[in-house]
């Protein structure tokens, strides 16, 4: 039985990936005091992930709705003083 090659592809959507990173450094100020600096980045490459289908549409194989899935690049900085 021959199947049309797009029959299986209509169930798949676009790939979804993000790159998250974290850098931290701890400084010892005195014996009992420590200062930690942190930099965290979510979706570092700022990749746009297209959304999945809201319904299966066999009339238009490969059709993707025009919305994005996920968040834009977010970078946060933080300081922590421990004593």
Q: Give me 55's structure tokens.
A: 């319904």
Measure the CA–CA gap between 53 and 58, rounded to whole angstroms: 11
Question: Is 28 in contact with 80 (CB distance < 8 Å)?
Answer: no
Q: pLDDT tens string for the chain (83 positions)?
A: 455 555 555 556 667 788 999 999 999 999 999 999 999 999 999 888 776 665 555 555 555 556 677 788 999 999 999 99
**Whole-prediction pTM:** 0.62
Q: Give me 73's structure tokens.
A: 């690049």
Q: What is the DSSP letter of 52?
A: P
Q: Give me 31's structure tokens.
A: 């014996």
DSSP sequence for 16-29? -----EEEEEEEE-
């Amino acid at each position: 039985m021959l199947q049309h090659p797009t029959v299986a592809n209509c169930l798949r959507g676009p790939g979804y990936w993000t790159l998250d990173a974290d850098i931290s450094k701890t400084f010892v100020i005195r014996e009992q005091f420590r200062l930690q600096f942190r930099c965290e980045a979510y979706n570092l490459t700022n990749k746009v992930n297209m959304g999945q289908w809201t319904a299966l549409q066999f009339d238009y194989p490969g059709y993707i709705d025009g919305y994005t899935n996920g968040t834009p690049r977010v970078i946060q900085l933080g300081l922590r003083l421990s004593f």
